């Protein structure tokens, strides 16, 4: 079941089309990475989803509520964290959370329990009385995430939650998002940090120049966008003269790339582009062995999300 549904969404700023007939669905309970370069239309899409901006045309629904027709219901269903942290410099962490909880008309006694639980969740109870402005960037991000949870929303919409964080703080934010998903929250977050996507996302959407160019489960997208596979083959040096010619004649071998050392000299390693199945790869390995070639390594090259992104996009911005 989809909790976010975007249908032919368009947003224009004069002659500029920031979001161009964008359609996608986000399954309930998923961690969905909305990926694209700066200027791809991510923030405009998220502002429409959070009812902060009207679309030029099209619609989106969150928990069944239209962002155009039922904006108040949408706001009750979501927690939104923008890409900048708005601070009240003279507030303590407790006052900051209490202020946002009060904005949702939560009773004062209930707010005290909620705020305590939120500080435990983001592992910052020891910062209860610290000034918000004194916190590190990573701590501010965790407090900002805590404030989005005050009214127990179904969906979290997070704009670049790991932007500007050091590696440790990024890991902490990722772990927190995974924990929130375990608690039943659906998380829709934008990012251009592909490592974050690979680590935690159950599905992704790649957007470029306002258009969705690919969407779905990462493994399914890899198969669709990268229909061939790569294998690295390493042999003893004595096999070098014969192996490239042999590989080039084998079924399903689309190309053979010899690898070079630091002095651009051939070494007994090759990367092949392969269009066959697992059984075909096994048959190729058997052929090499039967030909007396001393194979030291025969392994598939794992394609990461960065390679997927590069193949899906063309380097275009709006």
pLDDT band at 302 (very low <50, low <70, confident <90, very high): low
Res 159 pLDDT > 70 = yes
Each residue's pLDDT tens digit, 270-297: 999 999 988 999 999 999 999 988 899 9
- Residue 98's pLDDT is 94
Query: With left for phi above 0 and alpha for psi between -120 and 50, is residue 190 left, alpha or beta?
Result: beta
Reported as a single tens digit per residue, the pLDDT across 166-181 is 888 888 999 999 999 9
Report the pLDDT value the prediction gives residue 195, as an integer from 0 to 100: 73
**H/E run at residue 310:** helix 305-312
pLDDT > 80? residue 202:
yes
42 closest CA partner among 208, 227, 249? 208
Query: What does the pLDDT read at residue 130?
Result: 95
- Scanning 50-136, the segments in alpha helix (DSSP H) are 71-77, 93-103, 108-121
For residue 247, the tally of other CB atoms under 10 A from its CB is: 21
Backbone angles phi, psi at 165, to 5 degrees: -90, 150
Whether 210 contacts 22, CB under 8 Å: yes
E strands in 261-315: 266-274, 295-300
Strands (E), the chain: 2-13, 16-27, 31-35, 57-62, 65-66, 78-81, 155-159, 186-191, 203-208, 211-216, 229-235, 253-260, 266-274, 295-300
Q: What is the largest CA-CA distance in the chain?
A: 79
Per-residue pLDDT of 52-99, as tens digits, reads: 999 999 999 999 999 999 999 999 999 999 987 766 778 999 999 999
Give residue-wise pLDDT tens across range 243-279.
Answer: 888 898 999 999 999 887 777 777 788 999 999 988 9
pLDDT at 317 over 60: no
Confidence check: pLDDT of 318 > 60: no
- Domains of the chain, each with CATH number or no CATH: 2-224 (3.40.50.300), 227-302 (3.30.70.260)
pLDDT above 70: percentage of residues in the chain: 92
Average pLDDT over residues 129-148: 92
Q: How far is CA 62 from the centre of its chain?
A: 19
Out of 106-115, 121-130, 239-248, which region has the weakest mean confidence (pLDDT)?
A: 239-248
Inform me whether the pLDDT recorded for 315 exceeds 70: no
**Mean pLDDT for the chain?**
88
The pLDDT assigned to 237 comes to: 77
Q: What is the pLDDT of residue 76?
A: 94
Give the model's pLDDT for residue 25: 95
């Amino acid at each position: 079941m989809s909790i976010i549904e975007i249908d032919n969404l368009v947003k224009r700023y004069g002659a500029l089309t920031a979001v161009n007939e964008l359609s996608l669905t986000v399954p309930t309970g998923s961690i969905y990475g909305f990926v694209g370069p700066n200027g791809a239309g991510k923030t405009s899409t998220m502002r429409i989803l959070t009812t902060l901006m009207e679309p030029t045309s099209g619609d989106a629904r969150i928990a069944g509520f239209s962002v155009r027709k039922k904006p108040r219901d949408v706001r009750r269903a979501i927690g939104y964290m923008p890409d900048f942290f708005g601070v009240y410099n003279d507030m303590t962490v407790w006052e900051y959370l209490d202020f946002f909880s009060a904005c949702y008309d939560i009773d004062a006694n209930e707010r005290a329990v909620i705020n305590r639980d939120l500080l435990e969740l983001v592992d910052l109870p020891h910062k209860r009385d610290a000034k918000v402005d004194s916190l590190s960037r990573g701590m501010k991000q965790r407090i900002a995430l805590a404030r989005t949870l005050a009214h127990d929303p179904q969906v979290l919409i997070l704009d670049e939650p790991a932007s500007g964080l050091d590696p440790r703080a990024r890991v902490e934010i990722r772990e927190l998002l995974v924990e929130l998903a375990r608690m039943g929250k659906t998380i829709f977050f934008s990012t251009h940090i592909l490592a974050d996507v690979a680590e935690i996302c159950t599905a992704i959407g790649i957007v470029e120049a306002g258009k969705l160019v690919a969407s779905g489960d990462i493994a399914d997208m890899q198969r669709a966008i990268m229909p061939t596979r790569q294998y690295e083959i390493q042999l003893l040096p004595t096999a070098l003269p014969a192996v490239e010619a042999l590989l080039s004649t084998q079924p399903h071998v689309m190309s053979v790339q010899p690898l070079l050392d630091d002095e651009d000299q051939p070494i007994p390693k090759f990367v092949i582009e392969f269009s066959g199945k697992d059984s075909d790869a096994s048959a190729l390995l058997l052929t090499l062995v039967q030909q007396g070639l001393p194979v030291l390594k025969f392994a598939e090259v794992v394609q990461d999300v960065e390679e997927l992104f590069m193949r899906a996009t063309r380097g275009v911005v709006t």
